[in-house]
A and B are shown apart, each in its own frame.
Chain A
């Protein structure tokens, strides 16, 4: 007998998936059960771009900073070429500075380890009580130090690791339990590198969320019916993407004029 995940075509979970289920269950259902993908905004592209520049500079420590910054800007330009997000220029303005600050801190760790010619490390871990594995990718792994670092870009520096990030780190820790998990939060002005304390308490929450998803999926084998049982929070930035809002209208029958603008 197949489990509820498999009956809905879900063969794995991820940190982003369980965090989305917690934050926006209607969007989770729309994406995972009905296959509607959402486009992300300029802030997310900024993160991808900064990470590209930082990765380049970490794996080639002699590469001039300007080259890393240019690579990050080029990546951002590529990702936002067709974006209508009004924040594109604002996000672009902070990229070079964030790359410089991140490299200033993280180059002190040395060159990250690589595996099979790829710079990011795939992890797959099974957690007790969850019938499908968790899959993820490590940003920067330093085997010599026993440290895994995940880079997060922000507009304003966090003073602590957020709960969703702690869950992500706990999954990494479950996969590489003898490594310390750190999150490097970088803004255009500063950086804070924080250690994930007591990952086991967060992994219990990960399992709890996964079981909630499983119970939800067990209610019906009809993904459309499950999705329709939820209701989207259209005020949230998660729904800024016009495509997602249009999909919401299709699924939940919301008249456009009745939909609040995010």
Chain B
């Protein structure tokens, strides 16, 4: 895929949306100094997939992340130093759910894996070839237990397609990749069903 990116370092002028993997919840804030964080209860937004970038990120508490972006998805930038981790960033847009344009970035493996799955869905969809952007929704979370304890991996599904919104126009409409469209639209990923004890959907008791 062929978008260009100017390597940058420091400085983050977009309001961000954050995913807390320990809680399995999304948070953002209004644009403005000292605005409080609030939870995003419906994480549905336009994902600017053609302009997704990868690179090296260093997240420190209370300050904007340091980052060195890759020249392209196919070429990684040199590791800028210790404490930097591989990650991605992407712009999301929803007036209703995110209060506008938000930047989402992460270096967490389970989040990268989830984005990889969404990326594959987007790449395989015929709408992508037509230049549409996906409207994706976090349809659920999957508990993952490992040496880091239990974290929750977001599950994305594409719920619609749209022309590039004006709010994302500044990114430039990169030409869609020349991937061959899949013969059929991909099935959205299934949603993890929590157990009844965990507050899952009430299921009627059998009648026999």
Contacts and interface: CB of A to CB of B under 8 A. Distances in A.
Interface residues of A, number: 31
B203 A180 contact: yes
B5 to A, nearest CB: 29
B196 A147 contact: yes
B197 interface: yes
B195 A108 contact: yes
Contact of B145 (A178, A179, A190): A190
13 contacts: A106-B195, A142-B196, A145-B196, A145-B203, A145-B205, A146-B204, A159-B155, A160-B190, A178-B206, A179-B203, A180-B203, A192-B190, A193-B194
Nearest to B188: A160
A100 interface: yes
| Prevailing SS type, chain B contact patch | loop
B191 interface: yes
Interface in A91-139: 100-101, 104-106, 108-110
Contact of A178 (B142, B197, B208): B208
Interface of B: 117, 142-146, 153, 155, 187-198, 203-208
B208 A182 contact: no
A109 to B, nearest CB: 5
A231 interface: no
A108 B198 contact: yes
Interface string A158-196: 111100000000000000101110100000011111110
Given A147-B203, A159-B190, A178-B208, A190 B142 contact: yes
B205 A160 contact: no
Nearest to A193: B193
B197 A108 contact: yes
B190 A161 contact: yes
Given A105-B143, A109-B195, A178-B208, 10 more contacts: A105-B195, A110-B197, A145-B196, A147-B196, A179-B203, A180-B203, A189-B144, A190-B143, A191-B143, A193-B194
